[in-house]
A and B are shown apart, each in its own frame.
Chain A
Amino acid sequence: MKDTLRAAVLSLLFLFTIVGAWHLATLPKDTGASSAAADDEYAKLMGKGPGAKKSEGFPTPAQMGQAIVANLAQPFYDNGPNDKGIGIQLGHSLARVGAGYLIACLVAIPLGFLIGMSPLLYKALDPFIQVLKPISPLAWMPLALYTIKDSSVSGVFVIFICSVWPMLINTAYGVGAVRRDWLNVARTLEVKSVRRAFQVILPAAAPTILTGMRISIGIAWLVIVAAEMLVGGTGIGYFVWNEWNNLNLTNVLFAILMIGLVGMVLDFMFARLQKMVTYVE
């Protein structure tokens, strides 16, 4: 308990140091009186006239705070197809991730089971998996757009194709690594194969499978931002891209923060699940 408290204090200390350094680094620089002497109209056109509000360069922590408050005050506003609140954007992203991830689970876990139970299949499919696994989502996108002919389905497809591999590999590995003794016991007791799969192998392989699922959800969340920046329309990735259009770094930073927080929550959920299925031998 004492350690937790200490860690929390240290965390806060880190936070203050970072924000403090950030504040000092972004203090407005005094440009001197030279600009005042310059042509008034020119200055105005450059957004520098008296009373002009123009954000310059990297935002200060104070501006960042204002942006967070402003964005979170109205998370669900909807000003037309290209301007929606952060809540709606995150919702769209989560829905896409959910759909792609679910399909990936439905494919990867049964397939992983099969591969794991058959060493021959494992060896035969391994080269394909190894080649397909490291392909970036952005590389899949043009191909998906061309063949699927629908940008939102393409987004879901990219999530699917990127999150399927860790789950597949981990499931296969987990299933393949179930202790021989337990399988032999099941065989001695003449347990039928379906029952053996669900009552012996599944619980035994569950921690490994969950690890794969946890890695996959992390990847899916990484991928969605890139995919949405490319496809546009809705979602947190589109939000980042749209604010990049306007070179509005404050909102981009805010989006980065939100992406991090949502990713953390997703990971936390899977960590909990993982804890539930872990057993001590």
Chain B
Amino acid sequence: MSLKNPFDPNVHLGCSCGHHSSQAEHDAALPGHDADDGSEEGLQRRVLHSAAMRALFPHDATRRKFIRAVGASTAFSAISSFIPFGALEAIAQTRGSLEKKDLKIGFIPITCASPLIMADPLGFYRNEGLSVTLNKTAGWALIRDKMLNKEHDASHFLSPMPVAITMGLGSVAQPMEVATIQNINGQAIVLANKHKDKRDPKQWKGFKFGIPFDYSIHNFLLRYYLAEHGVDPDTDVQLRVTPPPELVANLRAGNIDGFLGPDPFNQRAVYDEIGFIHILSKEIWDGHPCCAFGVTGAFVKENPNTFAALYRAVLKAAQMARDPKNRPLIAKVIAPPNYLNQPEPLLEQVLLGRFADGLGNVRNVPDRVDFDPFPWQSMAVWMLTQMKRWGYIKGEVNYKQIAEQVFLATDARKRMAELDIKAPATNMQKFKVMGREFDPAQPEKYLASFAIRKAA
């Protein structure tokens, strides 16, 4: 818990009494007055107490001395006698109450969505007082429609989708917001086994590739990769939109030669001996965003407390998912038919990064997928440059304004700080895609540097 007990004379950072291995244990050992029982109410109570104590004792040293002198319980009752904590708590409770408790969240059964899926079986939503129904959805177009129809309150998105929907590309314009990124990396280019000898993209002219959706990082990364190798994605190959679960079936049937798709379907193609992993997406852009957790602008305005609770649940899940130690457990809870409906050993290969590549090698890439939730606005700017590059957007683009509107980086930082999760200090950063540096401050210059692009 991020907030320390203000009635504890020893509290400043960590457990300073030295008798307990952690602050949580220390708190547990303290009797009676400890307001923090780990629940949401406990947290609120603690916020209140802290505020009151800070007001009474502007200097922390004085507070500690006072409490040490009279004892924590005495201090609490003494102060309670002139500050009505009970009444204040009641007020805070009503202010913080959830506007909507029953939520429907849409997802596509892929490992990218691990944080928001695992939050259900592992109780992260329940702990925030939310009753969440996770709806498995058949494809990205339906994810979009069900969000526009308000059938879902929040959804798993491909990270470029909220940008596209906000701009009215391929849909009615409706403000969508990216609360967190779900995962970074975790995709791959998979080719059918018959192309084992064609590892050079220059040999791929005439290929048919599956991509999950037009407004997907997959589409942009594949186009980028092909173009860097001199293959024009619009004229030299065919890109077909195929819902993720159908990628493998289509690869088997020979309808496509390969795909840049999400896991577990890359690994599934290997597991079923249909294809092999040509490269992982992290080899194109290490740290690229893939899926996002998004809501409509209207939902945030109408349900600020519910949104905050949802935010906390997903961030906590992401934090847990980042630790490799937790990955086997995650593979276990998201494998059943209710969620991913995939064999557990397959998910372990994806999440732990020790996997068969379909060419007879065992590869070990621990960061094959990661769950960094921070929605860098520079990611959005990059997506916009690629949308413009391939003709999805025409004319002037206000990169910065759209990125700031859709990617809630500042909000995420605040929420992450509340949960003691380290967040970056800036909203934009430079990064490299296939060795080429991208400066979010100069998107037009970046765009102009590409030889292959759709003629404007």
Q: Indicate if the CB atoms of B338 and A81 lie closer than 8 Å.
A: yes
B94 at the interface (CB under 8 A from A): no
Contact B138 A39 (CB under 8 A): no
Q: Is A58 an interface residue (CB 8 A)?
A: no
- Indicate if A208 sits at the interface (CB-CB under 8 A): no
Contact, CB under 8 Å: B249 / A244 = yes
Q: How many residues of B contact A (CB 8 A)?
A: 40
A141 vs chain B, min Cβ distance (A):
10
- Say yes or no for A83: interface residue by CB 8 A criterion: yes
Q: Is B342's CB under 8 angstroms from A82's CB? A: no
Task: Check: A3 CB closer than 8 A to any chain B CB.
Answer: no
Q: Is the interface of B mostly helix, strand, loop or mixed?
A: mixed
Q: Which residues of B contact A142 (CB under 8 A)?
A: 141
Q: Is A45 an interface residue (CB 8 A)?
A: yes
Question: B145–A245 contact, CB under 8 A?
Answer: no
B360 to A81, Cβ gap below 8 A? no
Contact B249 A39 (CB under 8 A): no
Report the separation of the CA atoms of residues A82 and B341 in the bound assembly, to the nearest whole angstrom.
Answer: 10
What is the bound-complex CA distance between A81 and B102, given in angstroms?
14
A232 and B138 contact, CB distance less than 8 A = yes
Complex Cα–Cα for A79 and B134 (A) = 12
Find out whether the CB atom of B135 lies under 8 angstroms from the CB atom of A145.
no
Q: Does B204 have its Cβ within 8 Å of any Cβ on chain A?
A: no
Contact of A242 among B133, B146, B337, B361 (CB under 8 A): B337
B336 at the interface (CB under 8 A from A): yes
Cβ–Cβ contact A41 & B362, under 8 A = yes
Bitwise interface map of A from 37 to 51 toward B, beta carbon under 8 Å scored 1, else 0 = 011011011110000
Which of B22-30, B62-70, B156-164, B266-274 is found at the contact surface with chain A? B266-274
* B397: Cβ under 8 A from any A Cβ: no
Residues of chain A lying within 8 A (CB to CB) of residue B342: 245-246
Contact A42 B362 (CB under 8 A): yes
Tally chain A residues at the interface, Cβ within 8 Å: 33
Contacting pair B270 A46 (CB below 8 A): yes
Q: Are the CB atoms of B362 and A39 closer together than 8 Å?
A: yes
Kindly supply a per-residue 1/0 record for chain A positions 185-221, scoring 1 wherever the CB is within 8 Å of any chain B CB and 0 otherwise. Answer: 0000000000000000000000000000000000000
A45: which B residues are within 8 A, CB to CB? 345, 349, 354-356, 362
In the complex, chain A residues whose CB is within 8 Å of the CB of B81: none
Distance (Å) between the CB of B248 and the closest chain A CB? 6
Residue-wise, chain A 209-250 has the 8 Å CB interface mask toward B (1 for contact) of: 000000000000000000001111100001001111111000
Q: Interface stretch among A126-134, A146-154, A166-174, A255-263? A: A146-154
Q: In chain B between 358 and 402, which residues have their CB closer than 8 angstroms to a CB of chain A?
A: 360-362
With a cutoff of 8 Å between Cβ atoms, the chain B residues found around residue A149 in the complex are 148-151
CB under 8 Å from chain B, chain A span 38-89: 38-39, 41-42, 44-47, 54, 79-83
**Could you list which residues of chain A lie within 8 angstroms of chain B, going by C-beta atoms?**
38-39, 41-42, 44-47, 54, 79-83, 142, 145-146, 149-151, 229-233, 238, 241-247
Knowing that A149-B149, A245-B109, A245-B341 are A-B contacts, what are 18 other residue pairs whose CB atoms are under 8 Å apart, sorted by A's residue number?
A39-B360, A45-B345, A45-B349, A45-B355, A47-B271, A47-B343, A79-B336, A80-B134, A81-B134, A145-B149, A151-B142, A151-B146, A230-B142, A232-B138, A243-B341, A244-B245, A247-B268, A247-B272
